Amino acid sequence: MKIPTTLMALLAVATQPAHALIDGKVDSNTASSPFAGVGSVVVNGGAFSGTLIGGQYVLTAAHVVAGASLSNISFRINDGANVTLKASSVSIFSGYTGTRAGSDGVWHDDLAIIKLAGPAASSVPFYSLYTGSVSGKALTFVGYGAGGDGKNGVTTASSQTVKRSGRNVVDKLYRDDDGGSASEVFQYDFDGPLLLNLNGRLSDEVHFAGGDSGAAALIYDGGKWKIAGVGTYVGSGNGKNLDRYGAFGGGMVVGAYASWINSVISGTSGAKAGTIAPVPEADTWAMMLAGLGLVGYLARRRKS
């Protein structure tokens, strides 16, 4: 998601389906949907993803908005009313240095908060932060990425109005690259139907694709949906076929950044709109490919 941000499209196989925002289920885009608070972040005309974490605040990936003019950033709420709200400011996490992978093969700190010019309607849900462990947890991904399936890859372009959802399991966590102990990046594998059957994995497994940059990784906790992560990248062992079975993806663990997020919403962070790097074109996979394709491959070679 651009880090590649394509959503999974539903894929039918002889045994059981595998889903990904490549392979994902299309949301109804109604006010009654539990995912009505996940909207489309529109930047320079391109469609990405973001999640309401307050009536006037949207959590997304930093690479989605970094370098963009405020006048070219908006948030479309697809809840039947289809309201679009302009951005009034953007706060980018201070540690974000772009989509350059570190020694662990992934990039970190890829988070931004958009303050909207006005609040969303009270009928639109927003999501509190999940601060528990996500290790081994099944997360529900919701985003506006492209559609397709794990065998053929992306077959349908991303759209500002088409929202998909599906699940995947957190297989790996990366700790703070600045020396802290917090797990701040999550990663999952996009398994094919055979592995799904052998390992008893999820039948609705999905994978990020172009447009899923900033996608919500939600968890149902305490009787309500909470946001546990933000989608930011995809990769593969050889840097190819990033939208097929055998690829992997991941993003930022929200709990590791909870203090910063809360400080921005409360107005105590002193954060200002950031200009860090140009925004990738909507039809590229730069977000995932730059850091996780070749770099992920080289990291694995070093280990072997």
Residue-wise pLDDT tens digits, 20-63: 467 789 999 999 999 999 999 999 999 999 999 999 999 999 99
pTM: 0.83
Cα 210 from Cα 285, distance rounded (Å)? 6
Half-sphere exposure in the Cβ direction for 56 (13 Å, CA)? 13
CB 51 within 8 A of CB 78: no
CB 137 within 8 A of CB 9: no
Cα 249 from Cα 190, distance rounded (Å)? 8
Q: Give which of 108, 132, 286, 106 is closest to 210, Cα–Cα.
A: 286
Question: Considering the chain, what is the average pLDDT of its residues?
Answer: 81
15 pLDDT higher than 70 = no
Enumerate the β-bridge partners of residue 205.
Answer: 167
**The two three-digit tokens of residue 76, written as one number:** 């479309």
Per-residue model confidence as pLDDT tens digits over 196-208: 555 556 778 899 9
Cα 113 from Cα 51, distance rounded (Å)? 9
Per-residue model confidence as pLDDT tens digits over 286-300: 443 333 333 333 334
**The two three-digit tokens of residue 280, written as one number:** 């990738």
Q: Tokens 């993003």: give the residue.
A: 251
The span from the first CA to the last CA of the chain, in angstroms, equals 28
Cα 185 from Cα 167, distance rounded (Å)? 17
Per-residue model confidence as pLDDT tens digits over 59-93: 999 999 999 999 999 999 999 999 999 999 999 99
